[in-house]
């Protein structure tokens, strides 16, 4: 076989890689088609075009230029604004499956206010760091501990020890540190007066068109054990960790860390309690 024949065979076996100009042309055409889908209010069609855009790397400004990349982000943002709760979750799941960075998704959806994207991921049951949902992991651990013979009381005491609380010191003064676990399941009824009192103190209730969000935050180690257990009587809570603004309440603490627990309810679930 001559060197020319070898060269011809090699060229046939190795298809040419798309040029920058060719990629820009492909991406521009896909952006145009996605816009037509949006104009026709065909959201599923728009989703498919967004998937094609990402797979063709039309979101990467280093490869196709800022203008085309901004066009891709613009399509995602327009679809986000026109979508209901269910479709927004579907969109986030698709973007997650395409291995995009959280920063890109945050910029594209314009959920740039602190922790807004994380809250949406929690509502939709999406973990960007892991395929497994945090709530499911916690349930698996709790089930494993129960199979090993641990009771709710054992778990409670171990959590208190973990945050530096001496449970035996309470008992020496006649106080059972985990007595609050007794009959806690009764609080699953949001009509209980306890919830009204909690709303007047620590609980924040946000009502949206498609859901009601119950949120409670703390910088205290004891409440970090109590609050998620309390919310869990209603629904498995999601967690956000953030820095607390303002001067710390304790002298030896330089920067406070707040734990924010929240659950999302149906639009009528909380209103029944009011």
pLDDT value of position 114: 66
On whether the pTM is more than 0.85, the answer is no
Instruction: Give tens-digit pLDDT for 140-166.
Output: 777 888 888 988 888 888 888 887 888
Question: 82 falls in which pLDDT band (50, 70, 90)?
Answer: very high
pLDDT at 94 over 50: yes
Other beta carbons within 10 angstroms of residue 256's beta carbon come to: 15
**Which residue pairs from 173-182 have beta carbons closer than 8 angstroms and sit at least 24 positions apart in sequence?**
178/152, 178/153, 180/226, 181/152, 181/153, 181/156, 181/229
Other beta carbons within 10 angstroms of residue 162's beta carbon come to: 10
């Amino acid at each position: 076989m001559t060197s020319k024949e070898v060269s011809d065979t090699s060229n046939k076996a190795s298809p040419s890689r798309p040029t920058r100009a060719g990629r820009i042309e492909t991406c521009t055409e896909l952006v145009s088609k996605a816009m037509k889908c949006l104009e026709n209010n065909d959201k599923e069609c728009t989703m498919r075009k967004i998937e094609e855009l990402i797979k063709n790397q039309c979101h990467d400004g280093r490869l196709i230029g800022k203008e085309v990349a901004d066009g891709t982000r613009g399509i995602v943002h327009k679809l986000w604004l026109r979508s209901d709760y269910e479709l927004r979750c579907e969109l986030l799941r698709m973007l997650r499956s395409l291995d995009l960075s959280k920063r890109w998704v945050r910029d594209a959806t314009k959920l740039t206010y602190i922790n807004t994207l994380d809250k949406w991921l929690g509502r939709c049951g999406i973990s960007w760091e892991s395929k497994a949902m945090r709530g499911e992991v916690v349930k698996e651990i709790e089930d494993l501990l129960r199979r090993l013979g641990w009771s709710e009381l054992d778990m409670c005491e171990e959590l208190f020890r973990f945050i530096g609380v001496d449970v035996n010191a309470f008992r020496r003064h006649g106080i059972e540190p985990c007595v609050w676990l007794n009959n806690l399941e009764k609080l699953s009824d949001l009509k209980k007066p306890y919830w009204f009192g909690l709303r007047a103190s620590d609980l924040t209730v946000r009502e949206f068109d498609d859901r009601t969000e119950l949120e409670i935050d703390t910088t205290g180690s004891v409440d970090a054990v109590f609050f998620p257990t309390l919310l869990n009587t209603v629904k498995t809570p999601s967690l956000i960790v953030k820095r607390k603004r303002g001067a710390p309440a304790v002298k030896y603490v330089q920067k406070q860390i707040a734990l924010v627990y929240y659950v999302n309810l149906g639009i009528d679930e909380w209103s029944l309690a009011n």
